[in-house]
Structure 1
Amino acid sequence: MIDMRLSRPARISLGYLATAVLWILVSDELTATLIPDRETHFLVQSWKGLGFVTVTALVMYALMRTPAPTAEVVPDRHGAVLLGLTFLLLVALIAGTGTLAYRHQAAAFKQQQLSQQAAIADLKAVQIRTWVGQGRQQAEMLRRDPDLLEAARRLATDAAQDAARHVRLHFNALLETGEWTAIGLYAADGRPLLQAGEARAPESALRQAIAQTAAGGGFRLNDVHPVDAAGLAYRIDFLLPLPEAAGVLVLSADPLALLFPMAQSWPIPSDSSEALLLRVEGDDVAFITPPRRSGARPTERRVPLADTAFASHLVRKKGDGIYEGRDFRGVEVIAAFEAVPGTPWHIEAKTDTDEVLRPLRRQAGQIFSMVLLAIGISALFVVLLWHNRQAAHAASERLAQAERAALALRFEALFQQARDIILLVDPAGRIVEANEAALAAYGYTAEEIRARHVRDLRDPDTLDSLDRQFSAADRPGGVQFETMHRRKDGSLFPVEISSRVVEIDGQRFRQSFIRDIGERRRAEETVRRQLDELRRWYEATLDREGRIGELKAEVNELRQRLGEPPRYGQPQDAAPPAGAHPSGAVRT
């Protein structure tokens, strides 16, 4: 029959081809997903290809240098599983390390971006607060001008042009700075008393602000509002009441000229970042500065506060801070909100999340390439280790076989030549093996005793304890006990058994060392009988001597009653008679 098996070089080549195809398909898809940046993607692809060629070349060299295993070598399946698990563990460790490194960098990078957003929002809030404060200071300086107060009192009653001329000079000096479009003095009902700069009739929003300022008596900011029907011109007004209800001072500025550029400028280059000036109007957030590329006019764009899809919802719920959410376009952004003190405004500094994470994706691509390279090197080492292990296993297997054969011969000799009975019993209690001493003790042949259960060797009167003793052999130290065994002819003899569980070729057996203690029992019985006889002789001797002593004592007592001297003396070192008190009195 024709041998259709592929040669070893053919198998290696096919394995390399399959690995290369799988690598190209999987790695290209992953890098395209993780690294959208074209420049970084090209760099990673180059390093990825170089790493793959290097690793596979080393693996091919190792495979070709390693001789093919012979037919006699038994595959080391346990070692293969261990090496496979080791490789998987290395892959898990490398991937875990890469993941942790990425997460650490991602957390640090994200925290840096969040801090940057917060710093920009805070910077904008400080700039706008400073600008508002400077405008208020200029209004305060004008309000403290005595000429202005005198002109206001006179203008409220008559048209004193000579009094207004000096005040108008002050107004024009401020207008020349370019910060203001108009400065005027108005009566509490909104009538213009004195104006400089652009001449415009006070619109309804300004008249309402003038009345509120005159009634409230403090500084007021008339927020950004349109001043023409077309919505092309906008103004913001700074209002201060004059003492003694002489009128209200109004400084007007064009927000498109200074406030909006100040709020919208971004300190670092960015494609999607922008700062927006917001204010809450009822249940909506109004965009005072129009969002970039929205085409909206100032204060025209609004977002409901109740819409949880937008980051502004979080501002209402949690206050100022840094949030991740969607802006009015529905695009994911990182936004920092900061209130502008002394105004109804908030600054929102936002950047598209995609732009924020773009550098992080480059780092992810680099980490991914390093992880793949480390896994490839680990695979190379595992392959080399596997082939070395196979070669060592083949040599050690041959040596182990020779050692096992010699050990089996020595064990068999020791097992059979032992003077004590040795039984090998399976978990069911069947006798598997017995030595020569066992055959001689029980009177069975080798075939007969292997067909027996341990119950067949026990005295029927001791079977109640068999199960307990059989289970006790499974303890770490085994068990030792005495019992009665029965020979083939039915005769009984006492034995001492030491039994424990042993494992042979992956199976558990009970190995019992049994010693015939009949001779020892007979010797113990002889010694016990001799001790009993000695004890009886000793007690009889003591009783005879005690009786003689008692008779002598009675004779001496009778002679004393008759008035005669005692016949028997009592030596000081003589033992008192049996039953006598230690003082010398005889027990009756």
Structure 2
Amino acid sequence: MSPNVVTRACGIAAAALGFLALASWAAPGHPLLDGLGRGWLSMPPSTAFLSILFGIAVLFAARTPLDRTARFAGVAAGSGGALIALLLFFFSSQDQAPTDQIASVVALCFVLTGLSLVAVLASSDKRTWPAMAAFWLAVLVVLAGGIFLLADLFDAPLPNGWALGWPAPAAISTVLAALGTSLATLSGKAVWASGPRIDATSLRASRAFMLVFVLMATAIVTAGGIYFHRHIIRYRAEVERQLLAVVELKANELANWRAERLGDAKALYRNFYFARLVRRALDNPRDAEAWTHLHHWLQQVREAHGYDKISILDSKGVALVSVSSSLAAPTGHESAHQIPSSGQLILQDFHRHEAGGPLGLSLLAPIIDQTDGKRPLGFLTLEIDPRKYLYPLIKRWPTPSATAETLLVRRDGNDVLYLNDLRFRKDSALSLRLPLTRTDMPEARAALGQQGVVDGINYRGVPVIAALRPVPDTPWVLVAQVDTAEVIEPLAKSLWMQAILVGTVLLAAGTILALKWRHQLMRHYSERLRTLEELQKSEFRYRELFEANPHPMWVFDAETLHFLAVNDAAAAHYGYSRDEFSKLTVADVRPAEDLLWLLDAVADRRELKTFTSVRHRKKDGTLIDVEITAHALDFGGRRAEVVLVHDVTERKRAEERLRVLSRAVEQSPAATVITDTQGRFEYVNPKFLEVSGYTWEELAGKTPAVIKSGLTPLEVYQDLWGAIVSGKEWRGRLQNRRKDGELYWEYEIISPLKNEQGVITHYIAVKEDITERIRLEQAQARLIGILDATPDFVSMADAQRRVTYLNPAARKLLGLGRDDDISHVTVPNSHPEKVAKLLLDVGIPTAIRDGIWKGESLFLDVTGREVPMSQTIVAHKDANGEVEYISTVCRDMTEHKRTEATLQHELARHKETTGELLNARLRLAERDRRESIGRLAAGVAHEVKNPLAIIRLGVDYLARQPACASDQAEVLEDVRQASDRADRIISGLLNLSREKALERRPARIEEIVDNAIKLLNHEIVLREIVVARYYGSTPPLFVDPDLLQQVFINLLLNAIQAIGQAGGIDVVARSIYVNERDVQPDEIRMFAIGERLVLVEIKDNGPGIAPEHKQKLFDPFFTTKPTGEGTGLGLAVSRNIVMMHGGFISLSNRPEGGASALVGLRVTGERVANEEADTGSR
């Protein structure tokens, strides 16, 4: 690539970047600039101006040959630009820079650029030292731009004073690198142009050496950049770790400090002796000793823990006694009224009791009287001065730092509030607040809940690195921050040293390359120089016409189609360099479909057409439409063609867009009309003809009056013409008439069309047929009228459950006027909490799933009264099944509920009376049965017990005789056991018939059952039976525990004997409330609805109860055991004991096998109505 191409390309690049930067300032938000990357193009306006100035000046300086005008323009631009940059440099150095904030280092680089440009233009063939100076000045600018680019690429900090001071350094760095490269190329050409030209062999050697140097330099710079980038990452990680450690340490210290203060308050919170002393003082205000002790106690606590003030308040918040570090009089506390509702400690956040007063925190605690139902006697307040300990704790920093500080903030509405005095802003506590919208501030991010390490701008407007950490159990957030400049200062020094090292290596290599280049340039031949001079003279005119042409031009061989010459415009337009063009043919820039025509033309040795339109292909594959003009010529003894190319792609695209626009209007679903200024039709699209029913022949030359219905008010047409004649757009509805006489509605947008002079030449109207929409609006109005008249509650909500409509009945219920805002109406604030949860969790999801949900609910009217409603929720969905809106219709069920409650009450009374009668009948039957058994037992006991006693005495006498043989002893033992069994049966009958008085006392059913199990534990272990107990929450019973223990021993013993060996028994105890579901079993019919029972169920996995035995289980003397192993009275006695307690007992088989014994006992004096509880389904 020639030096001129490099120079011009770099100059164009610098100017283009400057133009784009100025455009981004002039047109913010332009989509084209946003697509190019507005952030990357951003630079100060002064920097953009200097970029454009020097870029254009470089183009002037690169002209060949350099005429006097171009030289003067270049010197003027360079001198003026250097002077402007020098002024900006001084302003920036003294912090007096203009509002564009150009950096001093950038201004200095532009000064060097201007000096380099002036020096290169001041050089000549005989005076080359200005060009040499310009070269090294340009090299300095290139190095500066490269350093800035590398720093931006690897995110490396720059040394102090080198910061670009702008958020987009890449664009500024690119401009500097481009200007430096262009001037280095231009000055290098001037320096070495006077020396000898390099031959082909030396040129190839020098190119190879330059390539090696470029690769080596790239590797050195890349390795250095990667190493430094990793060093930055490690250094940054260490800084973040230190900040996190600081903020974590301080957060823990704050949490510990808060816990200690709460511990101080808790020490007095439920202190029996302290409360007794307070009560003594309050009961007798004249008890001086009590008040003295109380004051002394508070004084000791204040001095021991460093509180600023301690007060005791009465229940109204009035101070009774206070001790403080000052002589201030006792005062009340505005937060004391919060304690009775919570009964807990309260730590009041940072506050001022009065405007401009001192800062403080407060601990409030109730003083509980443990002897009087835990009644609060008063309240204790502990006042804390944060300046004594808390602020110094926050302010301390573990290492020396010029900018590090710790901030304590909290969110206050839409602001972040600073709670401590800042290092660089005094008296900021509770007075400095900044909006949460400043998300570039770490404090705002912390208040919004973000944690960890962030970069941002602090309250001073200075970039900082900050660690964010909330203080546990508080609304406070800690921010530990340090200025970014302080953090990167050591990195900048490291970068400086590394840059010097890399620069030294590169400078040494560049020096060797320059010496080699200079040596090779000295090896030239005078003959080649003379030949070149002759060629330059012969080609001067050609160059002027060919090279300077703004349109692409080339010369190609008519035989082989190879390019012989191309101008700069062709290279720039097609994307190929001159070297690349020299290796191409015309076929390479033509589409594949044109190749056959080109090959035929070459074969027939035909000349190309003088003028034709074809398509070309650029290097990137883009196809363009061009018009070419070709002429034949002789080029170095070859038959050739010279071609001038005009790119007409944009023109054809505009024509195509016009055709597309025309088709769009023709095929538009909206009617379109264009008239002249008198309103006469000049164009209508097919949609208008379809809607109106007219043909174009019928409308030509007429006005829209042909479709007027006469029903639109005249004022509408006057407003229409008044708007469009004045150049404004008019929008509105018109009622028109079709050709067949049918009326229809249209929504029209009518706009004036103006020519280049701003004169109105036509009017265009776009019309939409809204007849169906009008009909729907009228139907909707009728429906709304019905909804407004109904007494039922009707509402509608969108898919996000936001209420959009309430009918008058609904507004009346909720206390809203006809025009009141309803955006605040929601399900939670219109229903009681449980009902709202039911609707949100069940009702609405069911309606969305099934389309509808019906049920009963409660509404809260304007007074807060709960209104029972019969509610229907309907989800209205579109064709895709997506919910469009949700409607609710509710009917007031107050009267219905009142009537239903009355009937339920009467029914409950009837059932209670029926239960009492049934219970009395059962008790009477049981009493009769016991009396019959008693009479039988009395007779049997009288007739049998005396003979049994004689038999027992005789057996004992015979057994003691010495002459009694062993076989006789066995017979006597059998007789003794038989007589004992008969005696037990008679005793059991007597016990069964007697109604023993119950010794009732409070007892837990679990303890009674556990005692019975303990008594049978030997038998349980012996038979390897596992007893599992499942106890629910049961109330205490007022029963005879000893008798009930006998019942459970009988039932457990029956279960053990039924299992035999290796089985399991489950004992379940629970509490139920009798309701409608429990009244089916005969046993529970004895109890009233709402009465509370305790149920104990003993379940075994034995063989169960035989069907033929079920009716005899409670009969006296009935037993399924072998003869001699049971009396058959255990269940009868157990039933008698349970019924004496007013309960029931039943036996049944379990579905899974085994038997179940159920005992139900009444909870004396407790009845609950309409309470939800586990009914214990059996």
What TM-score does the superposition give when structure 1 sets the normalisation length? 0.53
Distance 2:310 2:417 in 1: 27
Q: Is the 8 A contact 2:198 2:520 kept in 1?
A: no
Is 1:176 the counterpart of 2:303? The answer is: yes
Pairing of 1:352-371 with structure 2 (within 5 A): 352-371=483-502
Structure 2 counterpart of 1:165, from 292, 296, 313: 292
Pairing of 1:145-164 with structure 2 (within 5 A): 145-159=271-285, 160-164=287-291
Is 1:82 the counterpart of 2:208? The answer is: yes
> What are the superposed Cα offsets for residues 84-111 of structure 1, whole Å, 9 maximum, x if unpaired?
1221112211221222122112222222
Distance 1:85 1:25 in 2: 22
| Residue identity matched to 1:155 | A
Pairing of 1:68-107 with structure 2 (within 5 A): 75-107=201-233
Shift of 1:37: 7.0
Is 1:289 the counterpart of 2:420? The answer is: yes
1:339–1:390 Cα change, 3 Å: same
| Residue identity matched to 1:376 | L
Distance 2:446 2:388 in 1: 29
> What are the superposed Cα offsets for residues 562-583 of structure 1, whole Å, 9 maximum, x if unpaired?
xxxxxxxxxxxxxxxxxxxxxx
Q: Is the 8 A contact 1:315 1:337 kept in 2?
A: yes
- Pick the structure with greater CA Rg: 1
Corresponding residue of 1:242: 367
C-alpha RMSD of the superposition: 3.8
Corresponding residue of 1:227: 353
Worse-matched range after superposition: 163-172 or 348-357 = 163-172
Pairing of 1:282-321 with structure 2 (within 5 A): 282-317=413-448, 319-321=450-452
Structure 1 counterpart of 2:409, from 270, 278, 281: 278
Q: Is the 8 A contact 1:214 1:247 kept in 2?
A: no
Corresponding residue of 1:327: 458
Q: Is the 8 A contact 2:320 2:330 kept in 1?
A: no
| Residue identity matched to 1:171 | L
> What are the superposed Cα offsets for residues 320-349 of structure 1, whole Å, 9 maximum, x if unpaired?
222111122322221211111122211111
1:362–1:148 Cα change, 3 Å: same
Distance 1:262 1:330 in 2: 25
Distance 1:330 1:145 in 2: 52
Distance 1:74 1:279 in 2: 75
Identity %: 24
Shift of 1:34: 3.4
Specify the SS of the correspondent of 1:246: strand
Specify the SS of the correspondent of 1:76: helix
1:73–1:303 Cα change, 3 Å: closer
> What are the superposed Cα offsets for residues 493-550 of structure 1, whole Å, 9 maximum, x if unpaired?
xxxxxxxxxxxxxxxxxxxxxxxxxxxxxxxxxxxxxxxxxxxxxxxxxxxxxxxxxx
Distance 2:364 2:517 in 1: 87
Corresponding residue of 1:35: 159
Shift of 1:308: 2.9
> What are the superposed Cα offsets for residues 290-316 of structure 1, whole Å, 9 maximum, x if unpaired?
323324442011111133342334335
Specify the SS of the correspondent of 1:252: strand
1:305–1:129 Cα change, 3 Å: same
Is 1:211 the counterpart of 2:342? The answer is: no
1:14–1:303 Cα change, 3 Å: closer
Q: Is the 8 A contact 1:263 1:275 kept in 2?
A: yes
Corresponding residue of 1:398: none
Corresponding residue of 1:379: 510
> What are the superposed Cα offsets for residues 351-399 of structure 1, whole Å, 9 maximum, x if unpaired?
22222222221111112111101212333565688799999xxxxxxxx
Shift of 1:166: 2.8
Distance 2:455 2:216 in 1: 36
Shift of 1:145: 3.7
1:234–1:73 Cα change, 3 Å: closer
Structure 2 counterpart of 1:141, from 263, 267, 274: 267
Shift of 1:203: 6.3
Distance 1:137 1:17 in 2: 79
Worse-matched range after superposition: 138-147 or 339-348 = 138-147
> What are the superposed Cα offsets for residues 142-186 of structure 1, whole Å, 9 maximum, x if unpaired?
335433111222233332332233333332223334621112222
1:254–1:384 Cα change, 3 Å: same
Distance 1:211 1:303 in 2: 31
1:235–1:199 Cα change, 3 Å: farther
Specify the SS of the correspondent of 2:402: coil
Corresponding residue of 1:121: 247
Unaligned 5+ runs, structure 2: 1-123, 149-156, 163-194, 369-373, 523-558, 561-1178
Distance 1:340 1:253 in 2: 18
Distance 1:276 1:248 in 2: 33
Specify the SS of the correspondent of 2:334: helix
Q: Is the 8 A contact 1:203 1:227 kept in 2?
A: no
Distance 2:219 2:354 in 1: 68
Distance 1:386 1:297 in 2: 67
Q: Is the 8 A contact 1:155 1:193 kept in 2?
A: no
Pairing of 1:425-436 with structure 2 (within 5 A): none
Unaligned 5+ runs, structure 1: 39-68, 392-426, 429-588
Distance 2:196 2:479 in 1: 75
> What are the superposed Cα offsets for residues 65-89 of structure 1, whole Å, 9 maximum, x if unpaired?
xxxx999976422222221122111
Distance 2:197 2:427 in 1: 83
Distance 2:396 2:270 in 1: 35
1:227–1:142 Cα change, 3 Å: same
1:171–1:109 Cα change, 3 Å: same
What TM-score does the superposition give when structure 2 sets the normalisation length? 0.28
1:276–1:350 Cα change, 3 Å: same
1:158–1:199 Cα change, 3 Å: farther
Corresponding residue of 1:62: none
Specify the SS of the correspondent of 1:183: strand
Q: Is the 8 A contact 1:156 1:193 kept in 2?
A: no
Corresponding residue of 1:559: none
Specify the SS of the correspondent of 2:472: coil
Corresponding residue of 2:237: 111
Specify the SS of the correspondent of 1:266: coil
Q: Is the 8 A contact 1:90 1:378 kept in 2?
A: no
1:123–1:182 Cα change, 3 Å: same
Distance 1:217 1:235 in 2: 23
Is 1:348 the counterpart of 2:479? The answer is: yes
Aligned length: 356
1:207–1:274 Cα change, 3 Å: same
1:28–1:390 Cα change, 3 Å: closer
Distance 1:71 1:223 in 2: 84
Q: Is the 8 A contact 2:446 2:469 kept in 1?
A: no
Distance 1:110 1:94 in 2: 24
Pairing of 1:402-421 with structure 2 (within 5 A): none
